[in-house]
Chains A and B, each alone.
Chain A
Amino acid sequence: MNGWQWLRREWRGGRSGDLSILAVALAMSVAIVAGIGLFAERLERALDAQAATYLAGDLAVNSGKSLPDNLITAAQSRGLKTSQTIQFPTMAYPVSDDTNGILVSIKAVSSDYPLRGELEYKPGFEPPLTNYGLLASGTALVDQTYLDRAQLSVGDSIYVGELVVKVVGIIDREPDGGFSLFSLGPRVMISMVDVYSTMALRPGSRLSYAQQYAGDEAAISDFATWLEAEVNEDDVSIRTLEQGQPQLARTLARAKQFLLLCGALGVAMAGVALALAGRRYSRYLLDAVAVKKTLGATPKRITRLLVEKLAALWLLSTAAGLLIALVVQAGISALISAWLETELPAPTLLGAWLGILTSLISMVAFLGPPIYQLRAVPPLRVIRRELGGTGSLLSASVIGISAFSLLLVLYTETPWVIVGLLGALVLGGGVAWLLAIILFSGKRRLVQASSPWRLAMSSLARHRWLTVGQIVAFALTLSLLASAVLVRSSLIGDWQASIPEDAPNHFFTNVAPYQVDNINHTFDYENIDDSGLYAMVRGRIALINGEDAKARAEQNGYRHISRELNLSYASELPRDNELVVGSWWEPDTDQLLVSVEESVATRMNLKLADTITFDIGGTQVKVMVANIRTLDWDDLRPAFFMLLSPPALENFGASWMTSAYVPEERTDFIPAFLREFATVTVIDVGYIIEQVRQVINQVSRAVELVLGLVAVSAILVLLATVRSSQDWRLRESAVLRALGASKKRLLGALLIEFGFLGFAAGILGAAMAEGAAAVIQTQQFDLPMAWHWPMWIILPIGSALVVALFGLLTSKQVVQVAPNDILREVN
């Protein structure tokens, strides 16, 4: 006989209930962790690939000055591919009508561009677009806007500076186009070989040089390190994958954190189920081991059998769990792959290993202690049943909680979740203990009468510690489930709120000062919801309180702020901005004041009444900090770190900008607007919003799918908990029935017993969930704390109903089978 045979016989022989819970709990822990792990890892790699398409490479640099020659050489020596672009504004004229000049944004691209992502265009002309690389010399790709405005079509030729190029296609989307508010005019893309022929690269031209690099991860990382040391970051900005698309990245980073959190919660629940079912199973094994010992099985043999048996159980469960994980991750991937422009990379084994490791830790920690005790069961137990036990609950709990903490550390990588959950657990345990002492101290009064209510209460009181254990187990499960639901709701709510239905979908830039009033009037007349027009003035912070600002910025590790900034002015606090300190100035103030964004104020250590001197095109403007405010970068409205009072900036020549929501059905608005305001650049960001919105919807669904798995674990705990007291409940009910208690009375008592357990656990669970969610939300996800009062009603009532129903279903034997049969079976 071996452990595998033992397991098979037990499975057939009526222990399938406990064994199923054990097996399913183990399988669930593998499935949840491996499923999420496999998916999270694929997602991360896909996001990197996605971000790369936004940079048109794995790494990019750009600068207003010509980039040093050694960058390309250094990159190529590391085996990286490189490409280059130069952007600048210039006038373009149709060859057929050289009076119709339009300011365009030229982008000259090298033949390898783009290294990542795709330039999407409608080719409309033969011969083929390229003879080498992307664009042949003498050809150009342009925006539809340009063709509309210049009244040209594909095949026409235009002057770009001194150069004549033929329009060979229309750009639909360029990977690193993003939306730069300074792209002055529609895009005209030409070949890098033609750039000098335009004669437009003159000193004082507003040039933007960029290089992109792509290659394997190690080489990129090595090159990035070299770059940081090599270039002056005041002149050259280095753009990495993380900065590729911050809004999406943040949404997905939070989603990933949430999935990992769910994983930890699911595993914790599977652990509770394992521990409960394991204890019951090991109680059964006490007799089996004692009989086997009596029949001559040596302790060594018993140990070997037990280890073989657990190994068989583990192998089967883990294999099943991995299968489920593959299905789960495939499901989640299918849900989200629709919006990913790149293919999801194939899953690797890392996630699977994490799942296997988890189930091993869970089994050893939660199932190990009671099973280990079995080695020591004396054979004499066959005569004296009081001998042998399943070991101390305390030591098992300590081992279990330690393993639980270890698993949390493995998944969440932050201590706050652990603090929240363990804190809630300790609090819950303490409250339940107090509850037991207070509630059941009057048991003498309760045990006498035989009404269902009193039968139930006396039964709970007699098994007071088991009752407490059950309440804590239920409460823990409920609180884990509720925390997951609460955090999910906040998270999804937060995501959705970040992109409201009427979020601005068009930016209007390059608005001349004389157009401001007319445009405002047009928006009002056409009933278009705009964000208000803002002037944009480029300026650099020169001095703070009379001291060199650059030194101060470097001292605070925040060098970006010493570069040129977009400054603006306003007489009123912009929409969605909130004052943190100080007050907003009077609309007609004549003081020179500035309102500073909170994070900049913190990093630069700026306080109210500090003075800042801006260098604007060589003129110095000294202003005083009047207030500090927060702003929302996600809402697609013009946002400025530094907002000055009107007298401080009014006299500087500025170009103006705004954003507005143009409903999809108003297809005529933009062409009409452009006809009226030909020099204004309109950037459609609708697709970016649509993409983010899609990501949010799909990721929300993925989150819900994972929550479903967590709910399966919760049901397991429920089953395991109800079963943990089933034996004595059946025995006692059978005795009561033998003594003449009616079915109705017994069912009533069971209903009250389980209902009470569920209700008490619901209240405790709500308290624990509220505490845990508060810590997790504020510390892990940076969401505001919220009070969830509906949970305090739903959880106790829902849990009372569900537990009562489950309890009745699993205990229905009591009234269906002859009491004698029950007594014989449980004895």
Chain B
Amino acid sequence: MILQLENVSKVVPAADGELVLLDDLSFTIEKGESIAIVGRSGSGKSTLLGLMAGLDHASSGSINFAGQRLESLDEEALALLRAKHVGFVFQSFQLLQSLTALENVMLPLELAGGAEAESQAKQWLEKVGLGHRIDHYPSKLSGGEQQRVAVARAFAAQPAVLFADEPTGSLDAATGEQVADLLFDLNREVGTTLVLVTHDQELADRCGRQIRIEAGQIVTEATA
């Protein structure tokens, strides 16, 4: 078990009282598993991803990540946990525009203090098929290429868990499929746990397990 949620809720203040984003969720994710969290826009799946990845605190309940209770960790400790165990791929890529493809991939390696950041980053860019564009800035890359840089960046630090938030959401069908292939291939190769948030059923079907969320609650949980 790498990740365990027990009675996790997220409530935010709203104009007319409180808004419940997530309501009493409990489930467990095993090491090496690939899991899709699916649901419509606004169902709470991105909020859930934020909580699991330690980007935000739950209002109540407990999240156990690699043996650590996230609710007991402060910002400093959460950041260290992310540096050590977590990789991300976002719908909007989240590449730093002022850094080249290579520098973007080097970033997590440098933050983790790796000595071989540059050569490792180059290897990862080769793996995603961008070895010839390492010195290009994000604005000069296509959407698919940017997402491939993001995938390389996510795997570069060899995280225990890789969170992907609508990784193909900004891409056309063909490009989306290429990126998805890359994601699953690398996941298999490295043995990372993959937590994927999507409303794309085809993408979800490629995962070992699916959790469907509606209005902040788990409605179904199915294994492929």
Contact = CB atoms under 8 A, between A and B. Distances in A.
Interface string B121-156: 000000000000000010100010000000001000
Interface in A750-777: none
Interface string B50-66: 10010110000000000
A300 B76 CA distance: 7
Given A294-B82, A383-B90, A14 B98 contact: yes
A169 interface: no
B137 A14 contact: yes
B137 A293 contact: no
A675 interface: no
Nearest to A385: B92
Contacts of B143: 824
A378 B98 contact: no
Interface in B179-208: none
A301 B97 contact: no
A301 B56 contact: no
Contacts of A384: 46, 50
Interface in A296-315: 296-301
A15 interface: yes
Contacts of B215: none
Nearest to B74: A299
Contact of B82 (A1, A288, A296, A824): A296
A292 B98 CA distance: 13
A297 B55 contact: no
Contact of A13 (B55, B82, B90, B99): B99
Nearest to B91: A383
B100 interface: yes
Interface in A518-538: none
A296 B50 contact: no
Given A14-B137, A383-B165, A825-B97, A296 B55 contact: no
Interface string B73-98: 00110011111101010101010111
B139 A296 contact: no
Nearest to B137: A13
Given A294-B88, A383-B50, A10 B98 contact: yes
Contacts of A560: none
A296 B100 contact: no
Contacts of A1: 107, 110-111
Given A13-B137, A14-B137, A291-B94, A296 B86 contact: yes
A382 B88 contact: yes
A827 B99 CA distance: 15
B83 A296 contact: yes
A380 B56 contact: yes
B108 interface: yes
B55 A824 contact: no
A382 B55 contact: yes
A384 B48 CA distance: 12
Interface string A381-393: 0111000000000
Contacts of A287: 94, 96
Interface size class on chain B is 35 or more
Interface in A682-718: none
Contacts of B11: none
B50 A380 contact: yes
A294 B154 CA distance: 11
Given A287-B96, A383-B49, A298 B80 contact: yes
A788 interface: no
A292 B107 CA distance: 8
Most chain A CB within a 10 A radius of its CB, from B56, B94, B103? B94
Nearest to B112: A296
A295 B165 contact: no
A17 to B, nearest CB: 11
B186 to A, nearest CB: 17
Contacts of B86: 296
A297 B88 contact: no
B182 to A, nearest CB: 19
Contacts of B96: 13, 287-288, 291
Contacts of A9: 98-100, 103
Interface string A261-301: 00000000000000000000000100110011111111111
Contacts of B139: 14, 821, 824-825
A379 interface: yes
Contacts of A295: 82-83, 88, 107-108, 111, 153, 157
A296 B88 contact: no
Nearest to B107: A295
A429 to B, nearest CB: 32
A379 B86 CA distance: 13
A776 to B, nearest CB: 43
B107 A383 contact: no
Contact of B76 (A288, A298, A825): A298
A623 B96 CA distance: 89
A383 to B, nearest CB: 5
A293 B79 contact: yes
Contacts of B56: 378, 380
A284 B165 CA distance: 22
B155 to A, nearest CB: 13
Contact of A379 (B46, B55, B84, B99): B55
B97 A13 contact: yes
A524 to B, nearest CB: 81
A674 B165 CA distance: 104
Contacts of A824: 139, 143
B89 to A, nearest CB: 11
A379 B83 CA distance: 13
B97 A14 contact: yes
A13 B79 contact: no
Contacts of B103: 9, 13
Given A295-B82, A295-B107, A13 B165 contact: no
Contacts of B82: 293-296, 379
A9 B157 CA distance: 21
A295 B155 CA distance: 11
A287 B139 CA distance: 15
A535 to B, nearest CB: 83
Most chain B CB within a 10 A radius of its CB, from A292, A300, A379? A379
Interface in A194-221: none
A60 B24 CA distance: 94
A495 to B, nearest CB: 51
Contact of B55 (A284, A300, A380, A827): A380
Contact of B46 (A13, A15, A288, A383): A383
Contacts of B79: 293, 296-299, 301, 379
Nearest to A822: B139
Nearest to A15: B98
Contacts of B99: 9-10, 13
A293 B54 CA distance: 11
Interface in A705-755: none
Nearest to B76: A298
Contacts of A378: 55-56
Nearest to A824: B139
A99 B64 CA distance: 123
Most chain A CB within a 10 A radius of its CB, from B46, B49, B83? B83
Contacts of A284: 97-98
Nearest to B77: A298
28 contacts: A1-B111, A9-B98, A10-B99, A12-B98, A13-B96, A13-B99, A14-B98, A14-B137, A14-B139, A15-B98, A291-B107, A293-B82, A295-B82, A295-B83, A295-B108, A295-B111, A296-B79, A296-B84, A298-B76, A298-B83, A378-B55, A379-B82, A380-B55, A382-B88, A383-B50, A383-B55, A383-B165, A384-B50
Given A13-B96, A383-B49, 16 more contacts: A1-B111, A9-B99, A13-B97, A13-B99, A13-B100, A284-B97, A284-B98, A287-B96, A294-B53, A294-B88, A294-B94, A296-B82, A296-B83, A296-B157, A298-B83, A382-B88
Shortest 10 CB-CB distances between A and B: which pairs? A296-B83, A13-B98, A1-B110, A298-B79, A296-B82, A295-B108, A380-B55, A10-B98, A15-B98, A379-B55
